[in-house]
Structure 1
Amino acid sequence: MRQKGKATIKKIKTKIYSPRSSQLKLAEAAVQKIRNKDLQTEVQTQIKIVKQLSFIAVTFLLFSCNSNIVFDQYISIENQQWRSENGINFIVKNLDTISANNVFINIRNTKNYEFSSLFLIAKLELPNGFKVIDTLEYEMTDASGNWLGSGFTDLKENKLFYKENVVFSEIGTYKFNIQHATRGINDIQGKNPLEGITDVGLRIEKIKK
């Protein structure tokens, strides 16, 4: 007799497509994208605020540290060749007539400056026309020939005392004039031009009590 074989029935899973389900997923993705964008915007805003606050803090700190500066100006020497007849002029107005101040002459020099010292003639004209003339000498190097000025490059910064504990008691304009009088050995006429000086500055600092 012929045996009857067992029929194998395969179950086929039917995947039902739901337009509503797809729309929900798209909506959720859109919401998530908006949230991510909002979060990114918020982070950028916070970073911007932090930068602004940092800038304000640094500015305030610098202002606090330099609040004693009354006047600070540099004038460049053309081609780093300072002729003795070319005085450097500074005009200072609206000075405090009560507070005491220290006055500095600032000099920037390069390795092309060939002397160990610097001679200057500094003139100060008061508002009433009275003039004060000082002949000044400053050491630019130590005994070993090393520069005394600050700076890690070839450009050195020298902050030189000019007048100490001075009160500008008169109201009006104060005129400063600075000339160099540097000369070599047996050099009657002086070094003209004097090379290696890049800038000459004047700085007035109020003495803190």
Structure 2
Amino acid sequence: MLKTISKSKLVVGSLIVSMFFISCDKKRVFDEYLSLTDQKWNKNNELKFTFSVEDTLNLNNLFINIRNNKDYGYSNLFVIAQMNFPDGNTVVDTLEYDMADGTGKFLGQGFSDIKESKLYYKENILFPTKGDYTFKIRQAMRKNGEVSGIENLEGVTDVGFRIEKTK
């Protein structure tokens, strides 16, 4: 009986703490993560995030969130990002992000082996149309001098997409 009470108190306490952090995130419009199998990002694994837009008047910042561990062996990250609009328009970007400083220390936040990098994708954008949007992303890493991409990019644990209000 005592164990049941302790577990239920733990669950209630966890829910209260979670609700506190969620309610404090007033800038968040959309925030979702996808976990990668075996902490590897296959070059053919296009990750997809679908979100609905109702606000076409206020500016937003869009972020790509990457969680990596010590197995990530590069100082940068190349990705191909695609935004599909409700009206059928599509925008495709090839992006490069720094993942480590000159000494090889990862730039992300975190106290453990997992570092989280919040990477700007688009700043101060206005969604032109109400409706459902789709953001797709895939890794485009290549070793120097090689044409074919890295089949499985090791050390990437999760990929996320986040939209924040600018004000």
**Same fold by TM-score greater than 0.5:** yes
Kindly provide the CA deviation profile for residues 120-149 of structure 1, in whole angstroms up to 9, marking residues without a partner as x.
000000001100000100001001111101
Matching of residues 1-209 of structure 1 within 5 Å: 55=16, 59=19, 63=23, 65-208=24-167
What is the letter of the counterpart of residue 132 of structure 2? T
- Equivalent residue letter for 1:206: K
Letter in 2 for 1:88: L
Corresponding residue number in structure 2 for 1:14: none
Structure with more relative contact order (C-alpha pairs < 8 Å, separation 6 or more) = 2
- What is the CA RMSD across the aligned residues, in angstroms? 2.0
From the CA coordinates, give the structure whose radius of gyration is larger: 1
Q: Is the 8 A contact 1:96 1:169 kept in 2?
A: no
How many Å separate the matches in 2 of 1:82 and 1:185?
19
Report the CA distance shift for 1:59/1:85 in structure 2 as closer, same or farther (over 3 A). Answer: closer
The residue aligned with 1:17 is: none
Higher helix share: 1
Q: Decide which structure has greater strand share.
A: 2
Aligned equivalents of 1:113 and 1:61: distance in 2? 29
When normalised by structure 2's length, the TM-score is 0.87
Aligned AA (2:60): N
SS in 2 for 1:79: helix
Shift of 1:110: 0.6
* CA-CA distance at 1:201 after TM superposition: 0.1
Q: Give the Cα separation in 1 of the matches to 2:20 and 2:121.
A: 29
The structural deviation recorded for 1:61 is 7.1
Q: TM-score, normalised by structure 1?
A: 0.70
1:155 offset after TM fit, Å?
A: 0.5
Aligned partner of 1:128: which letter?
Answer: D
Flag the 1:61–1:120 CA change in 2: closer, same or farther, 3 A: closer
Q: Secondary structure at the match of 2:45?
A: coil
SS in structure 1 at match of 2:73: coil
Moved over 4 A (4+): 58-62
Identity of counterpart residues, as a percentage?
Answer: 47
SS at match of 2:131: coil
Cα pair distance change 1:100/1:191, threshold 3 Å: same
